[in-house]
Chain A
Amino acid sequence: MDNTNQVRQQVANMRRSLFDQGYLDDQFIQLEDLQDDANPKFVEEVVTLYYNDSARLIQNIEQALFNRPIDFGKLDDYMHQFKGSSSSIGAKKVKIECQQFRVYCIAGNADGCSRTFQQIKQEYACLRRKLQTYFQLVSQAGQAESA
C-alpha cells in the first residue's frame, strides 16, 4: 500500500509540474476528462497519435524552410496545421513557439522562422520525453494498485 501511495504521489507531482512549468495547458485536462474505464489509456493513445502524425508535419515544414525561394504562404499553412494539432493535446510551449513562428512567417523573416523552428523542435522533443516518463509512471501506479 505504501508503494502504491508513493507512486501515486509521484504521478501527481509530475503532473502538477507539467502544468506549473508551462508544458501543458487546460486542453490536456479535457483529454483526461475523456478517459474512462472503457478507454483507460485514452490520453496516452492520443498523445502517441499526435507524435506519430506530427512527424509528417515537421518534415513538411523542414522541407519548406529548405526550399528556395521560401514559400511563406505554404510554410504558414503547415505551421497552422501543426499548431492546431499541438493545441489539441495541450502542448502549451510548443503552441507558443508556433505562434511566434507564424509572426516571422507573415513578416517573411526566414532567419526568424529557422531559429524559432529549432526552438519548436526542442520543446516538442522535451515534451515528448516528459510525457513518456509521465505515462510510464501512470502505468506503474496502475500496476501497483492492482498488485
Chain B
Amino acid sequence: MNVSEKTVRGDGTNNSATRNRVSVLVVDDDPTIRTIHKALLSSMGMEVEVASDGQQAVNLHQMGASYNLVFMDMDMPVMDGLQATRKLRAMGIKTMIVGVTSRNFGSDIQDFLQAGLNYCIVKPLTIEKVTPLIGEVIRNM
C-alpha cells in the first residue's frame, strides 16, 4: 500500500500548503488509523501528511512545514498529543489543532483542550465531523 509520508525539505520550503487545497497533518501512532484518516481526508480533497507521534509533528513544524489543520491523537509514545500541542503553541503555531481521542473521561478531554487545542473530537474521524472544521479553516484562509 502506498502510504506516502512526505518529508520536509531541509531548505525550509513549505511543501504542504498548495493554492486552494487545505493542507492537513494527521498525527497518530496507529498505522491503521493513520491510513484510514489519510484516505478519508484525501477523499475530501485535502492534501494530507502524516506523523506517527507528537515529536515528529513538532519536528515537521521546526523544519518549516506549515498546515491549515492538524489532527492530533491524544495517546502516543515518544511525545503524546498534550505535550505536542503545548510545544506547537509555545512555538507560536496558530494552526487549528483538533484533538482526536477515544477516551471517555471529561477530565482527560479538558486537559487536552487546555493544552491548546481548538477542538476535541472522538474517534474515528468522519465526513460529518470533519466538514464543519474544514469550513472554518477555509473561512479563515
Contacts and interface: CB of A to CB of B under 8 A. Distances in A.
Interface of A: 27, 30-31, 34, 36, 39, 42, 45-46, 49-50, 53-54, 77, 80-81, 83-85, 87-89
Contacts, number: 52
Interface in B31-57: 31-33, 35-36, 39-40, 43
26 contacts: A27-B124, A30-B40, A30-B126, A34-B40, A34-B43, A39-B39, A42-B39, A45-B35, A46-B32, A49-B1, A49-B31, A50-B32, A53-B31, A53-B32, A77-B75, A80-B75, A81-B30, A81-B75, A84-B30, A84-B123, A85-B30, A85-B33, A87-B123, A88-B36, A88-B124, A89-B32
A34 B39 contact: yes
- Ranked nearest first, the 8 interchain pairs of A and B with the lowest CB-CB distance are A50-B32, A45-B1, A34-B39, A84-B102, A88-B33, A49-B32, A85-B30, A85-B32
Nearest to B32: A50
Nearest to A27: B124
What secondary structure prevails in chain A residues at the interface with B?
Answer: helix
A105 to B, nearest CB: 14
Interface size class of B (residues with CB under 8 A): 10 to 19
Interface of B: 1, 29-33, 35-36, 39-40, 43, 75, 102-103, 123-124, 126
A30 B126 CA distance: 8
Nearest to B124: A88
B102 A83 contact: yes
A77 B74 CA distance: 12
